[in-house]
Structure 1
Amino acid sequence: MNASVAMSGRERAALWDRLRPGLSGDDAELTARVIWSVLAEPGDGIAGQMIADLGAAPALRLVLRRNAFATAAALRAEATAIARAVAQAYDEQGREPLPGVRAGFLRWHPRMTGTLIETVFAMAAASRCTLLTPADQHWPPGMSDLNDHAPLVLWCLGDPALLAEFSHAVALVGTRASTGYGTHVATELAAGLADRDWTVVSGGAYGIDAAAHRAALAAKGRTVAVMAGGLNSFYPRGNSELLARVARDGAVVAEVPFGTPPTPFRFLARNRLIAAMASATVVVEAGRRSGSINTANHCGELGRPLGAVPGPITSPTSGGCHYLLREQPAQLVTSVEDVVELASGREGPAPEPLADPDDPRYGRVITALSATRARRLSDVAARCGLSETEAATLLGVLLLDGTVRSGDAGWVSVPRRE
């Protein structure tokens, strides 16, 4: 393993001491996980399953070939041989062979040659990051739900303890091209969550993400930004100052190694981390084809609560939210109380009734109704001794309170829930 990173054991040990302050771990496994994060794209299920089944270091020893092959045929032959070796390792453990190893090696090999691995380690040595693995205390607990598609390591700038606050974390996501309405709602929700001691998770992008991070910081709350590229530079560059503040007062995290550029497919892979890191996700404002819909889909696959904020029906930037409310199991979100209720799985405090409790006419109207038999307005008015206009006004207020219900057949009372 030493030759693979051009470092002595002492140099690697010193690197881990600095990148993992106060954390212990197997040096070979740490080294192998970092190398695997260089070789495999985020969410590579074959790499993830091999590491889970065999361990990062043993799996890497089976597949790592730093040499270039003279011909494509020679590379394919080596891929076949490696697949057989991995199958044998599985057989020795009494496991069924893992399909896809040959194709996996052909994906990983271009990154094995050259100096890419050494460059990542050199950039890590010059960074201010903390390196986390699934065995660490601050590893986000929700990542385990991603199974073989979970990240292999996480690089963190800032406070890694924030990553472990799954039960009190909410993801606020949305379009980069946010309107004034969307920005206002994201700001209100993030500030309200921060005031209630919830961590706000988002993706650091323009628009809704940036509004959520800024509001959480302004409220002296906690916020985490999940990046699609390496932490050697922030993207988008226009948010560099904001993300530097998040790194100082919160946490900025990435699964990809240093020097990895953010690309469209890496943004999509990053979205699964946002969904996994929070106990609920709320889409504040998003078009039908927004990447936030991808985050919402990951949320649904993980079985996490999903919320969406409605917007004007004439606004394309709310079309995605309306789609989620119509076609997906998303709950309507209009306030921070709705978000807390969604994320905590409990109902919030009952709203104050609109009906004046000191006005006896409301009691007369309710008494005139039946829970099982609908009554016309004229019948209700006659039973309680009021004009139809007056009775209609009182019924309208009770309808908003949820005390009565209206249908084609007339009005009925709604039994009070204990």
Structure 2
Amino acid sequence: MNQTMRHPQPPFEADNAAKTGPPAYEPERLARVVLSRLSEPGDAMIGRWLGQVAATDLVRAIRDGTVPDHPGLDATRLTGYQARLPGLDPAGDLKRVREVGGRFIIPGDTEWPSQLDDLGDGRPVGLWTTGTGSLRLLALRSVAVVGSRACTAYGAHVAGELSAQLAERGWVVVSGAAYGIDAAAHRGALAVGGMTVGVLACGVDVPYPRGNAELIRRIGAQGLLVSELPPGEHPNRFRFVLRNRVIAALTRGTVVVEAAMRSGALSTARRARDLNRHTMGVAGPVTSELSAGVHALIRSGDATLVTEAAEITELIGAIGDDLAPERTGPVLPRDLLEPAVARVLEAVPATAEGAPIERLARLSGLPPDEVLQRLYELGSLGYVERHGAHWRLVRRR
């Protein structure tokens, strides 16, 4: 396929050459900025090309229409890419994100999380980030907490509690900065001084949703904001869905707190499952539609039921290092009795007249002398009392 459509020299070359002051960006980074403008997140066509050629060569080939034949590539798609080329200013985009304290990281950078490579052809061409810390290091010990935007008070409480507990254990909480469960998860981590990462479906300089503007600002100050979309880009329905694959790939596992049967949070869970990440769910009221999707995940075996942070970290943490404590009921005083003493106590009937030594020996299977000894021990502990020749249980008031 060879298109004759021509454009001026590649924008990453022209702009970089025109820059007289620092910083001077390497062509590959500038070319990937161009690609982030030309394509939508998860564009498998761009991903396949980048598996074969450098980004600089790919942008030049798109400009000149000299790209080789590829399955799914047609004149309409190529024309769409070319239509977005004029007026692009990759160096300007990098300057814009730098002015808000951000950066653009690409594969090969020390900060690039290698687990994103599991997305194959759908791997991001680069990530725009703003905030503190290294994304690669933070992602190594991270967990996604996601769920419904229109969550219940129960869901918001559970998401906040789980996230706070995870943050206190040194885990990074990742979510989408949306209303509902996402916001509760971020706030839970922030409340205990923990680290949290917000993966956005818009530019990192666009506070969306507006109602979460202050929360998003706090995430950027105390944690990290991450997006595939360049500065100034706004979200749409498809970008939210595509964003979920990054959340799933970036983290060690995904916890769904509340989700209806058609919730977008379920797409994150399914992505996590397909990427061989741990998928977990929190049960809710069986009468709640907002828990129906989570219950379906658990029932199908696609998610593991979790109720606290310790159970989450046991699944996604280091083998043998993050074990959850065994959950048991309360220890009662009679649980501490020696076996022989407990056998005699079980033999004493719960009747007013009680029973003689001979019957208690027969019921407990112990010699009469030992039964008598154990009865006096039980008497000193307040369990039984003597009533003539019989022994009976002490009635509790």
TM-score, scaled to structure 2: 0.77
**For the residues of structure 2 that align with 1:384 and 1:168, how far apart are their CA atoms?**
57
Instruction: Compare 340-349 and 171-180 and name the one that shifted more.
Output: 340-349
**For the residues of structure 2 that align with 1:229 and 1:12, how far apart are their CA atoms?**
30
Structure 2, unmatched stretches of 5+, are 1-7, 344-360, 366-397
Question: Aligned residue for 2:147?
Answer: 174
Alignment of 1:188-227 (within 5 A): 188-227=161-200
1:259 to 218, 227, 232: 232
Change in CA separation of 1:353 and 1:363 when aligned onto 2, cut-off 3 Å: farther
**For the residues of structure 1 that align with 2:15 and 2:231, how far apart are their CA atoms?**
17
**For the residues of structure 2 that align with 1:151 and 1:363, how far apart are their CA atoms?**
68
Alpha-carbon contact 1:163-1:224 (below 8 Å) kept: no
**For the residues of structure 1 that align with 2:106 and 2:196, how far apart are their CA atoms?**
21
Q: Indicate whether 1:308 and 2:307 are aligned.
A: no
Amino acid corresponding to residue 7 of structure 1 in structure 2: D
Question: Aligned residue for 1:44?
Answer: 43
2:82 to 109, 118, 133: 109
Amino acid corresponding to residue 359 of structure 1 in structure 2: L
Structure 1, unmatched stretches of 5+, are 18-26, 66-81, 88-96, 366-381, 387-418
Matched length: 335
Question: Aligned residue for 1:404?
Answer: none
Alpha-carbon contact 1:2-1:9 (below 8 Å) kept: no
Q: Indicate whether 1:241 and 2:214 are aligned.
A: yes
Q: Indicate whether 1:359 and 2:337 are aligned.
A: yes
Alpha-carbon contact 1:272-1:295 (below 8 Å) kept: yes
3-state DSSP class of the match of 1:54?
coil
Q: Indicate whether 1:86 and 2:67 are aligned.
A: yes
Alpha-carbon contact 1:355-1:362 (below 8 Å) kept: no
Amino acid corresponding to residue 326 of structure 1 in structure 2: R
Change in CA separation of 1:29 and 1:269 when aligned onto 2, cut-off 3 Å: same
Alpha-carbon contact 1:2-1:8 (below 8 Å) kept: no
Q: Which has the higher helix share?
A: 1
TM-superposed deviation, 1:352:
4.6
Change in CA separation of 1:267 and 1:358 when aligned onto 2, cut-off 3 Å: same
3-state DSSP class of the match of 1:319?
helix
Alpha-carbon contact 1:154-1:253 (below 8 Å) kept: yes
**For the residues of structure 2 that align with 1:351 and 1:122, how far apart are their CA atoms?**
53
**For the residues of structure 2 that align with 1:383 and 1:268, how far apart are their CA atoms?**
71
The alignment yields a C-alpha RMSD, in angstroms, of 2.8
**For the residues of structure 1 that align with 2:195 and 2:30, how far apart are their CA atoms?**
31
CA displacement 1:128-172 (0-9 Å, x = unmatched): 211111111111222011111011111111024144333310000
CA displacement 1:331-370 (0-9 Å, x = unmatched): 00111111111212644232356565413469978xxxxx
Alignment of 1:143-182 (within 5 A): 143-182=116-155
What is the percent sequence identity of the aligned residues?
38
Q: Which entry has the higher C-alpha Rg, 1 or 2?
A: 2
Q: Indicate whether 1:4 and 2:4 are aligned.
A: no
